[in-house]
Amino acid sequence: MANVLLVDDEEALRQTMALFLRHEGHVCRLAGDVDSALLALAAESADVVVSDIRMPGGGGIALLEAVRGLAYRCEVIMVTGDPTVETAVQAIRCGAFDYVAKPLTRARLCGAVEAAATLKYAADADVRYREDLERLVEARTASLHESLERLQRTVENTTQALSRALEIRDPYTAGHQRRVTHLSCAIHDRLGAQRRLSPQGRDGLRIAGLLHDLGKLAIPAEILAKPARLSSVEVSLIRAHPVIGWEILSGLDFGWPVAEIVRQHHERWDGTGYPDGLKREEIRLEARILGVADVLEAMASHRPYRPALGVEVALEEIRKGSGTAFDPEVVAACLSVFLEDGYVLDSGVLAD
């Protein structure tokens, strides 16, 4: 059952069409011209409009265009007393669903209205389905974003907690990891200005920086805090910390190979580092950056076995190691960070 608006300037024809259609169970409203048809459509929506193509005071084509501009879908069937190909083409081109030639027959009119109503319902159902689907996708996306944010917060909190655990146990390196992280990110950003570095790599570097000495949890606190030269056994114990850190972290998925970066942070450009004696690009870029920042921060700060040497001395040491211990590109970026950007190694920084 469709809601139909019948528009024709001939009263008798309107009534005949209404009779045919009401007999089929459709609800019909009648209008004698375009203006009253538009008023009727504004007052209540229709599924199908059946309109004469030629009427005094404005034709059916004008009505057709007005119907196209409605906020809802409504199919239009044109009725014409001049069944030429041109009239039919004009009606269809303007967006009519069908056209019916006079004299009207019950079967032809009812068939056209039936088909138009079916199309309209199918189109409406399609729109509803699309809207439902869009709402569903929006809701799923929002909940996915929420889960991702929660996961990121968890990673962040876990990282901070592990980092603090080591700092509480080893006060001499308190703040060391945060300062190294902050400097590493500054070097990464400087390098990123010349090379295309991924933001995920920076995040991975940041987490690895905050956890790079995590393996020291396994080393006796007396050795870490010893204010004298270490024996060879003690040195080899300390040198195990990158692998221990890697073992602790390798089961965790940070979305970036954080465990590997931690394992490689004492590797050196010329292959003289540990634990695996990797060389040049065999060492991940993040680990090469971390290595430079780690050495620089350690030299510039106070240590149990010696006072702070200062940033100047530390920078000189880094410069001397360019191309041997350290990646020259990373060294150049590090020097630019201090000498051009005026970077200050601050004891109170929080890694961003």
Q: Give the CA dihedral 202, 207, 210, 211, nearest 10 degrees.
A: -130
Q: Which of 216, 226, 279, 320 is catalytic?
A: 216
Q: Is 216 a catalytic residue?
A: yes
Nearer Cβ to Fe ion (213/297): 213
Q: Which residue is nearest to Fe ion (CB)?
A: 213
Nearer Cβ to Fe ion (188/241): 241
Tokens encoding 136: 């569903």
CA atoms within 13 A on the CB side of 173: 28
User: Please, what is the angle between helix 311-320 and helix 328-339, to 10°?
Assistant: 150
Nearer Cβ to Fe ion (29/176): 176
Q: Which residue's structure tokens are 């004891």?
A: 347
Tell whether the torsion through CA atoms of 26, 30, 34 and 40 is positive or negative. Answer: negative
Tell whether the torsion through CA atoms of 213, 319, 334 and 340 is positive or negative. Answer: positive
Nearer Cβ to Fe ion (180/333): 180
CA atoms within 13 A on the CB side of 328: 2
How many chain residues interact with Fe ion (CB under 5 A)? 1
Nearer Cβ to Fe ion (79/224): 224
CB of 310 to Fe ion, least distance (A): 21
- Compute the distance between CA of residue 46 and CA of residue 40 in angstroms, rounded to an integer: 9
- Compute the distance between CA of residue 167 and CA of residue 177 in angstroms, rounded to an integer: 8
CB of 265 to Fe ion, least distance (A): 6
AA letter at 298: A
CB of 242 to Fe ion, least distance (A): 6
Q: List C-alpha distances in Å: 246 to 120, 197, 213, 281.
A: 64, 24, 10, 19
- Compute the distance between CA of residue 18 and CA of residue 6 in angstroms, rounded to an integer: 7
CB of 257 to Fe ion, least distance (A): 17
**Site for Fe ion contains 327 (CB under 5 A):** no
The CA radius of gyration of the chain, in Å to the nearest whole number, is 39
- Contacting Fe ion within 185-224 (CB under 5 A): 213
Neighbours of 153 (CB within 10 A): 10
CB of 298 to Fe ion, least distance (A): 8
Residues 6 or more apart whose Cβ sits within 8 Å of residue 340: none
AA letter at 341: D
Nearer Cβ to Fe ion (51/163): 163
CB of 296 to Fe ion, least distance (A): 13
CB of 212 to Fe ion, least distance (A): 6
AA letter at 220: P
Nearer Cβ to Fe ion (52/294): 294
Angle at 178 between CA 173 and CA 179, to 5 degrees: 85
Tokens encoding 48: 């199908």
Interacting residues toward Fe ion by CB under 5 A = 213
Which sequence positions are flagged as catalytic?
A: 216
